[in-house]
Every structure is written in structure tokens, then in C-alpha cells.
Amino acid sequence: MRWRKHVVTARGMRLAVRDTEGVGPAVILTHGLGMAQGSWDRLAPLLAPHWRVITYDQRGHGRSSTSDDLTLDALVGDLVAVMEARGVQRPTLIGHSMGAVVAVAAATQRECNAVVAVDGGLVVERPHVSKDRNLFEAEQRRLSVRILGGVTRLLGVGTRLSTDQLWHLVEAVESWERAVDPLYDQLPCGVLQVLAGKADPVLWGAELADAVAVAADRFHRMHPGVKQIWVDSGHAIQLERPKELADHLNEFLTANQPR
């Protein structure tokens, strides 16, 4: 698999984009908060034999420029700009975590073949400890975290956002999830949720996993037409279980191509 790199300019933003430019139907991968398009690197080669794969760095991440405008509308506008600049018609949108919210919202604005939410796009009542800004800032001040953050910014593989901007997004995503939830019923295409079945090794990991299970059950009752698949993985399914995720995606995407 070979990437061709591009820069998409939209509304003053410079978005770093990669495109296999293959002949198959297009799949656009949108990463989560604090990550970058490189987070798809274990999955993309497993999709590329069948699909034209496009990834990009969301604003404030990787090699894309940053902005004070970190609204959901702005992030959706960036995804739509990538679609238009790359000349993509009826793509499949796949988003991880925060990227799932962006993908679902974008699919209400542009015609898509399918949408896949990878451990995201659910209304999750997060544990109280995960909403403690003091703990969040203490984690950001740790020497190892500061060093890693500096290295990832230098390499263009992590976030370029400040602590304040990161915290703003952490808080904002919860309201975005609630805003996006009713949109699922407006989507005229197939939708798949791939959910992590294992707790991450963080302070609130077990509580969060329980909260996701409750949210997934509620979602299934509210939106029975959305297919749900559980994977024995932590939150970063595309990094931990790329082959299993690719198998699910290839099967779902094949079934949702126009006849």
C-alpha cells in the first residue's frame, strides 16, 4: 500500500491528508481526540486491497494547523472539505471515539454509503473521576506525558492542542454525543457500531467500561436498526485488534455497497 500525501485548505485551515488513490469505493477514516491519522496505520493496509482509503489529521492534531474554533460544526466542516477536495462521492465514513461523532454528523450533510462508529458516538455517562479537571491537569503535568507530548508534536503524530483546548473538547464531546444521538434515525445508509469489550488500564477504566455497556444497551433499544459488534479490546480497537476490525469492516462495507 502506498500513500499519496496532500494538503487540503479550507476556511483558513491546512489539513494533512493521505490518500491511497485506489480505484475502489472510498473509505474516510477520522481519528479520535489526542490521536492523529497515524492511529489508523495498522488497519489501513487491511482495507486498501478492497477500498480507496483516505485519512486526515483533524484540526489541532498531527500535521494539520490548529484553531480556536473547536466546535462540532468546524470539525464536520473539515471532514466535508476533505471529501470535496479529494473528489469523493458517496464514501463510507469511519470514525473512532470523537471521530465517530464527527462522522455521524457529517453523514447527515453528504450522501454516504455507510457509517461506522468505532467505540464512539454513544451517549455515555462517564465516571465522575474522569470529569475531574485537577486530575486531568495533573496527568498533563507528568514529566513522561510532557516529554511524550513534545515528541509527538515534533513528529506530527499527536495533538497540538493546549491543555485548555484539550479539556474543552473532553467536556464538549459529551454534549456532542447527545446532539448526534437523534441523527442516527435520519441516516439513509447502513450504520455499524464496533464497541470495545475490555476496560482500559486507567484509573476509571472499569467504571467507564460499565458505563459504555449501559449506553450501548440503551442505544440498541433506541436505534434497533444499527448493528452492534463487540470486540475483545480496549478503546483503541484499530491498534489492538486491526485484523478483527478489518474483517468486520470489509464484510459490512461489502454488504452496503450500491447494487
Residue showing cell 476509571: 204
Condensed to tens digits (0 to 9), the pLDDT of residues 34-85 reads 899 999 999 999 999 999 999 999 999 999 999 999 999 999 999 999 999 9
User: Strands 92-96 and 26-30: what pairing?
Assistant: parallel
> DSSP letter at 113?
S
Q: What is the pLDDT of residue 149?
A: 40
Secondary structure class of 139 (helix, strand, coil): helix
Condensed to tens digits (0 to 9), the pLDDT of residues 198-225 reads 999 877 889 999 999 999 999 999 999 9
Q: Is residue 112 part of a domain?
A: yes
Per the structure, the complete domain to which residue 241 belongs is given by: 4-252
Pair 52, 22: CB distance under 8 Å: yes
What cell was used for 254?
A: 461489502
Q: Is residue 199 part of a domain?
A: yes
Q: What is the pLDDT of residue 134?
A: 64
Question: pLDDT-based confidence at 143, cuts 50/70/90?
Answer: very low
DSSP count for the chain of H helices, then E strands: 9, 8
Q: Is residue 257 part of a domain?
A: no
What's the CA gap between 27 and 75, in Å, rounded?
A: 18
Q: Is residue 49 part of a domain?
A: yes
Residue 180, CA distances (Å) to 123, 148, 209, 224 in order: 9, 32, 21, 16
pLDDT > 50? residue 151? no
Q: What is the pLDDT of residue 154?
A: 41
Q: How many domains does the chain have?
A: 1
Pair 93, 112: CB distance under 8 Å: yes
Q: What is the pLDDT of residue 132?
A: 63
- Provide the whole-model pTM: 0.91
The predicted model gives 173-179 an average pLDDT of: 94
Q: Is residue 259 part of a domain?
A: no
Q: For residue 116, which amino acid is it? A: V
Q: Is residue 258 part of a domain?
A: no
> DSSP letter at 37?
G
Q: Is residue 16 part of a domain?
A: yes
Q: Domain of 41: which CATH number?
A: 3.40.50.1820
Q: Is residue 165 part of a domain?
A: yes
